[in-house]
Structure 1
């Protein structure tokens, strides 16, 4: 799709009333040109999406107001939020770009600039960018098949079909594995055969340590050999149920990564790129230690970074990028390769504004078809929200709080835990909460609600363990999620304190939590196989029942910890 074709489609979309109300064709054209004018550069182009979490339709998505960097990570990307992020990347407050990248003035800007993402709109952008970039590869960083009701009910098949139509060339894995290793292999060997290649240098068989997938693939792009190495999420069997990938092992495998880079270079690769689901802090550390990587196109931590970080290492320099989440961005890395090496680059992270990008007709038809059997169930209105409901943030979000409140009310529990997942869409004040919106927050293959007696000591151990996953000073020991959300219990958190001493001042109803006393704790998403055997109500049924009874949801009062030692941290919005 060249520029003329793009503007023709834009005009048709405007005539059909599909663009921003009141914008007018001329303004829509000007805005689209300003955002999506990306002249080709060099002789190798790589397009990058990641962490789409099965969002086929346009959505709202609020970026975090809390993304703390601790120790050596304080004050550096990706741990910048709000005005500090805008200042660092020279973005104007109130602009379309500020809306895409930050949480500031979110409700007002959402009304002004509209929804983001949607695979039909993303498809239009991919075609536009590819039109003047012959041979450009489209890379998918994983977390694509999970995150919606339709993905759950079709075992990811809706997203498999969408990815093929979008033109994805290569991908790696994380949440895909929660459909089970057999389902992943079935898709790789049947649906993707000859179309999309799954690469992962760090997934091995548990018995003999053989590669489950190819560690890398070598592609010819305009006469240049390009190696794409896969790095699946290293902690999949810990963050998610081990029994789902019982025959596979994961891990960071830094030494194997170096060996894979060396092998790709020996095979003639002039460009070596890692398609990573490590999380950005892990990618930054890996880039500083592994030689010979030209770029790491990263995911997992959902950080939308407008510009790459350039990391020095013993072999030279490596670009590290992260392309956000929920289909909200398309990364475009253009490389000039001369004399068998990368001589120069250009990078753009393009927000996918549904009001500026008309829907691609073929993708739109596919989305309509795969959703059709489920529209009635998805469209059920459960309640209406009076405040913004969102998830993203280190410690809590208003949709998380809604889930916690429902767990405590429905299970008559004193305390509730909800996982610190980073996926989940956003609702604006006055919008209905539909079953689809609820599934956007909860659609997983192990959704069981639990109710247990836990001692104060056990509760502290859980909180300390998750907190260490988030704030360990060594990125290789971080798992990339946010802090477990906590209902009922109040506590303080010192992220920079040593392990085991970050959680302090725990109280329940104003009284100190007693180490030896047991408390009634509700939760969901257990990773133990025993919990699967025990069964349990899917969390979406419990929350849906709670919402139907309430009909209207007031802005939830967030249960946030008292933070210590973080004054002035640029990962905390003022």
Structure 2
């Protein structure tokens, strides 16, 4: 065949991927002439030809150029198997799917034909993702096991973190992120975007601890809307460029990775609200939409059509500031958003379609409880044509032994710190009673308690320092989990009292909404409710003999040192934890405010607020002040 020599190079490039040692015969041979004996003279006609199909279907990428008209198949010529180029007809890579092509082969007067199935697939991107882990390291060895198992299935699966590794546990207080980084480096993270809490330790001079964290990372960071130029520690680590070969331990505008033969662009966004809820010092934050548009344009100019935003904006946070839903709607060309900040549990990806291009949004809740996975298929133009994602609950995994050994020295030191005194003391125990089903007994879930008062006093004190218009603070009873003993208070006691690491948020509510929420708080009294609200800067009287939702007799907030009645058509700024602010415990009034952009997450962890407030007071005495009174009794 005249084309054999011309296709020697072609055979070496593509035959290996298409033909295996074990081959299945699919086409019968045919005899020519009376004598079917094997031909020993190469000039004689061939008696039998059989084309052997590869054991796996032929596979191509959409838009892939087929070199000439030939691919390699094994051919049985009179009992001798030859790897030969075969002419194809009607083979196209323009559409994704399963198709059939016709192969023809001729040798010295004999031709055979074979219909061969082939597959055209899109370009695949496989991701794992975490966010808002907040130094919750005790479960990290289980996460490592899940990551290793997924990488065994697909070695090209990338691991991304969407920010807020800093703050939230004793591990962070003691090691400033380096304990987390030891585990992240072991897990081989590929990329991270800074969250707002990464800027908690900043001073007017800059962010020394965050710079140390970055420098020791065995992966790069993407940060597209943050100006580091005035920070003496971070400015030298930042490059305002899109980098094809990024260095570990550096910050970039964006990076390009080649996955499955295609360039994929990654850029990072951090909420502009960081300026208000962290300690940014000289760091400046730029508008997320403008910077995202610049990043997308820059990628397109470099021939990158598959673009991923690693976002610490929040899935559905205040749209007046920024969030992922708005990002997907307002910026064209983003294919995937890996999110954080709002601690949203997206059990399945959320798809936003604005025009012809869909954007897939994922987020993996909080504290490393879940490992997110996302598999995306793109067509040759970079458009998402298929996706599948889920959250993996890591509780059921065994701990990775190596990760356990890496964490051990940090955990040992933390255990002693957990028992350390914080510098405050109580004159008597702050109890956290439950009634065990006896409605005559007091309970944190239906009665005012000294502990509930202490917690909300601390919340109000912190919120007022940030926003002087806040008038009151509330805390759902279900978030208060333990008591505090008499005597010196330890860090462990504070952590077990508020173990969920909720952040402080401020809601702007109409008086009518606040009154409705207060009705909900006492609606099933004297039965316990995790949604029962403890309060500071506010007090209520209710009549439990009346029907639910008609029990509030008086509700007042503290203004200028005096309690005044709540007025239905006035607005009130109320501090609470972010769980409640998003509508937790079925507070539909708060959920409505959140969805309408009337909630601002201040990003400060609840147990840290309580600890700092106790230290401020130094000595505290349990006190019940008549903030919540049933007038029937």
1:318-373, Cα deviation, whole Å (9 max, x unpaired)? 112221011111110112234242331111111222xx111111111222211222
Once residues 459 and 292 of structure 2 are traced to their aligned partners in structure 1, the CA distance between those partners, rounded to angstroms, is: 47
- Are 2:412 and 1:372 aligned? yes
> Are 1:191 and 2:216 matched, yes or no?
yes
Give CA deviations for 1:21-49 in whole Å, capped at 9, x if unaligned: xxxxxxxxxxxxxxxxxxxx973211110
Select which of 381, 389, 410 maps to 1:347. 389
Residues 138 and 167, structure 1, Cα contact 8 Å, conserved in 2:
yes
Superposed, 1:129-278 pairs within 5 Å as: 129-173=150-194, 174-180=196-202, 181-183=206-208, 186-187=211-212, 189-192=214-217, 195-205=218-228, 213-240=251-278, 244-278=279-313
Which residue, out of 527, 538, 549, partners 1:489?
538
TM-score by length of 2: 0.50
**Counterpart for residue 114 of structure 2:** none
Alpha-carbon distance in structure 1 between the residues aligned to 2:179 and 2:414: 12
Q: 2 CA distance for matches of 1:537 and 1:407?
A: 10
Quote the residue 2:124 is aligned against. 43
- Structure 1, unmatched stretches of 5+, are 1-40, 58-117, 389-395, 448-461, 472-483, 493-503, 516-520, 529-535, 561-574
Counterpart CA distance in 2 for 1:153 and 1:321 is 31
Distance 2:290 2:460 in 1: 50
Please name the residue that 1:126 is paired with: 147
8 Å contact 2:193–2:221 — kept in the other structure?
yes
Distance 1:557 1:55 in 2: 37
What SS does structure 2 have at the residue aligned with 1:230?
strand
Q: Alpha-carbon deviation of 1:439?
A: 4.6
**Alignment partner of 1:438 is 2:494:** yes
CA drift of 1:296 comes to 0.8
Indicate conservation of the 8 Å contact 1:147/1:440, yes or no: no
Per chain length, whose mean CA-contact separation is higher, i.e. which structure has more relative contact order (CA < 8 Å, sep 6+)? 1
- The CA RMSD measured in Å over matched residues stands at 5.3
Task: State the distance in 2 between where 1:412 and 1:236 align.
Answer: 20
In the TM superposition, residue 411 of structure 1 has moved relative to its aligned partner by 13
**Structure-2 separation of matches of 1:401 and 1:200:** 45
> 1:50 and 1:315 mapped to 2: Cα distance?
29
- Larger Cα-atom Rg: 2
Number of residue equivalences: 382
Q: In the aligned structure 2, how far is the partner of 1:259 from the partner of 1:359?
A: 42
Gaps of 5+ in 2: 1-121, 241-250, 317-322, 422-428, 436-443, 465-469, 515-532, 542-553, 568-573, 577-600, 603-609
2:17 matched residue in structure 1:
none
**Structure with greater strand share of residues:** 2
The alpha-carbon deviation at position 166 of structure 1 amounts to 2.1
Looking at structure 1, the residues matched to 432 and 413 of structure 2 have their Cα atoms a distance apart, in angstroms, of 27
SS of corresponding position for 1:215: strand
**2:402 paired residue number:** 362
State the TM-score, normalized to the length of structure 1. Answer: 0.55
Report if aligned partners of 1:407, 1:522 keep a CA contact under 8 Å in 2. no
Deviation of 1:513 after TM superposition, in Å, equals 6.1
| Secondary structure in structure 2 of the residue aligned to 1:214 | strand
Q: Give the secondary structure class of the aligned counterpart of 2:390.
A: strand
**Structure 2 Cα separation of the partners of residues 164 and 418 of structure 1:** 45
Query: How much does 1:545 deviate?
Result: 6.2
| 2:338 partner SS | strand
Larger helix proportion, structure 1 or 2? 1
